[in-house]
Amino acid sequence: MSMDAPPAVKYREYCYACRRAKVNCLCGSIRPFATRMRFVILMHSEEARNQKTGTGRLAGLCLENSELLVGTDFSNDERVNALLADPSYVPFVLYPGPGAVSFAGLGESAAPPGKTILIFVIDGTWRTARSLLNKSRNVRGLPRISFSRAYLSQFAIKRQPRPHCVATIEAVYHLCREAEEAGREELGRKAEVLMAVFGKLVETQLRYSREHRHRREENGRGR
């Protein structure tokens, strides 16, 4: 009787920064850049737990002046409330809807010189993002900031629920660009790293999908 040991199980190694398999790690494409604005990315717990292609985390890695917090209700979050109580910040939440302003229409009185614009970015599916905002009373009550024009998402591996919906990293990119157009930022081409990393993500996922589909067809399971 054979006493051969069973084959060892192969475990995938993961990058602890971008949280992707090391074979598909995107950190080599990330070139962090500084912004005048401060970004706080509020990631829904489901997004953190289930979403392997989450772009909020990638956006945070690209932005030097940012931090990422995970949860479902930030009403009593000490860090969020400390930032909101800091008089050096002028806080907004990046979210579309009635009453949302753009940088093009943001007057000096809304964000006076000497104050740092603080942007809370909601990261999750549209369902979980809406839930997070509705539960987080402190963030829900903030003035909303959005875009002066519509953008189409380049997230080819996901179907967006509405034409104006974009991925989190795309939203941050467009906001940075509109802030620069309004004289609130001086980024040059630095912000392009956001879309470069996003492009790498989409390319990697599309390649995986093609290879996976090809293997299924070879095995006769793709019919």
The model's pLDDT over 107-159, given as tens digits with 9 standing for 90+, comes to 887 888 889 999 999 999 889 999 999 999 999 999 999 999 989 887 655 55
Other C-beta atoms lying within 10 Å of the C-beta of residue 141: 10
Looking at residue 101, what DSSP letter applies? B
Nearest residue to 191 via CA among 203, 179, 208: 179
Report whether 152 contacts 165 (CB < 8 A): no
**Secondary structure of residue 152 in the 3-state scheme:** coil
Q: What are the φ/ψ torsions at residue 205 (nearest 5 degrees)?
A: -70, -35
**Hey, what are 130's tokens?**
């809406």
Give the dihedral sign, CA 51/56/60/62: positive
User: What one-letter code names the amino acid at 89?
Assistant: Y
| CB atoms closer than 10 angstroms to residue 108 | 7
pTM above 0.85, yes or no: no
The string of pLDDT tens digits covering residues 22-50 is 777 777 778 999 999 999 999 999 988 87
- State the residue for tokens 């940088």: 103
